[in-house]
Amino acid sequence: MLKDNVKAPSKQLEPISGKYGATILGPTNPSREAENPDVLVPPRTDSGTLPNLKWSFADSHMRLEEGGWARQTTVRELPSSPTLAGVNMRLNPGAIREMHWHKEAEWSFMLKGSARITIVDQEGRTFQDDIFEGDLWYFPAGIPHSIQALKDGCEFLLVFDDGNFSEDNTFLLTDWLAHTPREVIAKNFRQPESAFANIPKHELYIFPGHVPPPLAQDRVAGTGPAPLSYSYRLSAQKPLTMKGGTVKIIDSSLFPISTTIAAALVEIEPGAMRELHWHTNADEWQFYISGEARMTVFASEGKARTFNYQAGDVGSVPFPMSHYIENIGNTTLRFLEIFRSSYFADISLATWLKYTPHELVKAHLNIDESVLDAIPKQKTPIVAP
């Protein structure tokens, strides 16, 4: 039986395009093939061999805990993405992602609900804030922090600036003390060993807790306030609006603490597309929030491959391969473009051609001057249908 949000294929897809291909006589996976029609029947422009550029969180191991769950997509699941890794995490109301730190920086987008984050830096300065749907946080490498769900619980995407990251390798408070002799802990805090008799014997990771009090009541001053904000109200940022959709770009120019990760939140209307372009500074890691998309990636040497994406999927575009993202569904396509960089940068095909001598362009492509004249002078990252 199919779940309500899973579409049953209207008919069996076959790898046939005109006179090319043939039916499948052996085993098939119709529901999987229906999710990836451009993989089963690639456009004739696809050519050569490219690595897999898609992974679904639905295929990731689900770590179930008493207070929620987590699943990850790293270079182990998606080898074409060595620079970034992602974790999708859910916390029940009041549940806690325990106090910890890691050697990678952490960037996060709140998908649903709300949570309280706490940070203490190397000088004892503190930061606490409540994060709501559509907003961000960023924790630099090595800085200890925690996440606790508020009254409605939450689900969020975590992105780390190393594809080899693993949720299993974080430095957890309970795991640390469980592996430190009790007499050493007692000596450290100048207390009797009996004061630490109930320390957990293993890590908690995600565990139930009480919904915290209002933020003003919960604040701890420390040695002073943090000099930079670790959170950003992306939900309040005014988007760049085009006929076919909107884009919000967020990097260190707007969110100064985020020195290793830049991103764009893109919304594309049905039939429209993120224009043909490439990025000049980093690999691209994508997370699809809603809608249906297809993307063709050109890798030079006559190599190109097309993939389909749905909500919960991760896309990868190695530097500096060119591509587009097209909305092939009937609802708004919403996704994140994420980069291991302090800044966002791309070059569009249209801009390149617009500002190159037109006679040179026409000598390459055999197109009319009218085509080049019609290209807008300003950047239009989304092309309307």
Residue 115, both tokens = 């949570």
Q: Averaged over 98-122, what is the pLDDT?
A: 98
Q: Averaged over 188-192, what is the pLDDT?
A: 98
CA–centroid distance for 296 within its chain: 19
d(CA 115, CA 323): 35
Q: Averaged over 249-275, what is the pLDDT?
A: 98
Q: Is pLDDT of 1 > 50?
A: no
What is the structure's pLDDT at 7? 52
Q: What is the DSSP string of 213-238?
A: --HHHH---BTSB-SS-SEE-GGGSP
Angle at 287 between CA 230 and CA 255, to 5 degrees: 25
Q: Is pLDDT of 369 > 60?
A: yes
Sorting pLDDT into bands at 50, 70 and 90, what band is 10?
A: low
What is the structure's pLDDT at 12? 82
Q: Is pLDDT of 5 > 60?
A: no
Q: Averaged over 245-259, what is the pLDDT?
A: 98
Sorting pLDDT into bands at 50, 70 and 90, what band is 8?
A: low
pLDDT digits (tens, 9 = 90+) for 112-165: 999 999 999 999 999 999 999 999 999 999 999 999 999 999 999 999 999 999
Q: Averaged over 270-281, what is the pLDDT?
A: 98
Whether 104 sits among the annotated catalytic residues: the reply is no
Amino acid in position 341: S
Catalytic residue among 326, 337, 359, 369: 337
Please name each of the domains of the chain with its CATH number: 60-232 (2.60.120.10), 238-383 (2.60.120.10)
Sorting pLDDT into bands at 50, 70 and 90, what band is 383?
A: very high
pLDDT digits (tens, 9 = 90+) for 213-222: 999 999 999 9
Place of tokens 């052996």: 26
Q: Is the dihedral of CA 224, 99, 108, 68 positive or negative?
A: negative
Q: Averaged over 94-123, what is the pLDDT?
A: 98
pTM of the model: 0.95
Q: Averaged over 236-263, what is the pLDDT?
A: 98
Q: Averaged over 256-284, what is the pLDDT?
A: 98
pLDDT digits (tens, 9 = 90+) for 291-333: 999 999 999 999 999 999 999 999 999 999 999 999 999 999 9
Q: Give residues with Cβ within 8 angstroms of 335, minimum separation 6.
A: 265, 266, 286, 287, 288, 289, 291, 293, 309, 315, 325
Q: Averaged over 173-179, what is the pLDDT?
A: 98
What is the structure's pLDDT at 3? 45
Structure-derived torsion over alpha carbons of residues 162, 168, 169, 170, reported in degrees to the nearest 10: 90
Q: Taking all residues of the chain, what is their mean pLDDT, rounded to a whole number?
A: 96
